[in-house]
């Protein structure tokens, strides 16, 4: 149980960092349209009522409940996997990152009805969709899940 608590604690830390970053972004960027940090990176304030890449953001509002339900079911499933496999370090780390991202974004959806995005990367006139710390956590966790699934297993890991 201690190992499971460690992974949940990591998720909680990332959720706190995500929410703090979003709070700072709202406080600072509400008065500023966009802040150029580098020639390829801006801070902007975007409220995304859709999913990744703003999919369904122009829907009539029904998507909010759907995305909240999906995130809550996924989070419960991830916690059950963390309880079952806490000693598989890479797998548990990946799950903790995905859990943190799901919870961070579902908090926004519940409290304000949309996810706060503020990181804007661009090059040669093309912009990557704005994202946040929770999105980064989900992306890194998903990449680690793929890596964990593809790496060769030792006999002891079976």
Q: What is the mean pLDDT of residues 85-92?
A: 96
Contact 34, 120 (CB under 8 A): yes
The catalytic residue among 58, 117, 120, 148 is 117
Active site residue 135: yes
Structure tokens at 81: 């996997």
pTM recorded for the entire structure = 0.89
Check pLDDT > 70 for residue 89.
yes
Residue of 18, 108, 120, 135 with catalytic role: 135
Mean pLDDT of 88-116: 96
Question: What pLDDT shows up at residue 55?
Answer: 55
Among the ranges given (65-69, 88-92, 136-140), the one the predictor scored with the smallest mean pLDDT: 65-69
Residues in the chain: 158
Residues forming beta bridges with residue 101, ordered by sequence position: none
- Going by the DSSP 8-state scheme, the letter that residue 131 receives in this structure is B
Q: How far lies 95's CA from each of 71, 118, 125, 134, 141, in Å?
A: 13, 24, 35, 13, 6
Token pair belonging to 71: 């995130």
Does the annotation count 148 as an active-site position? no
Give tens-digit pLDDT for 2-11.
899 999 999 9
- Rounded percentage of the chain residues whose pLDDT exceeds 90: 74
Q: How far apart are CA 50 and CA 119, in angstroms?
A: 16
């Amino acid at each position: 149980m201690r190992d499971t608590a460690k992974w949940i604690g990591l998720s909680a830390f990332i959720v706190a960092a995500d929410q703090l970053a979003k709070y700072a972004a709202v406080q600072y960027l509400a008065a500023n349209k966009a802040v150029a940090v580098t020639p390829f990176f801006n801070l902007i304030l975007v409220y995304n009522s859709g999913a990744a890449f703003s999919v369904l953001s122009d829907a009539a509002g029904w998507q909010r409940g759907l995305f909240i339900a999906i995130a809550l079911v996924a989070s419960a499933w991830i916690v059950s996997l963390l309880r079952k496999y806490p000693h598989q370090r890479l797998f548990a780390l990946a799950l903790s990152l995905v859990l943190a991202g799901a919870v961070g974004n579902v908090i926004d959806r519940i409290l304000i009805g949309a996810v706060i995005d503020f990181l804007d990367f661009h090059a040669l006139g093309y912009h990557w969709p704005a994202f946040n710390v929770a999105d980064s956590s989900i992306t890194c966790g998903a990449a680690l899940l793929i890596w964990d699934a593809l790496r060769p297993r030792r006999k002891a890991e079976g």
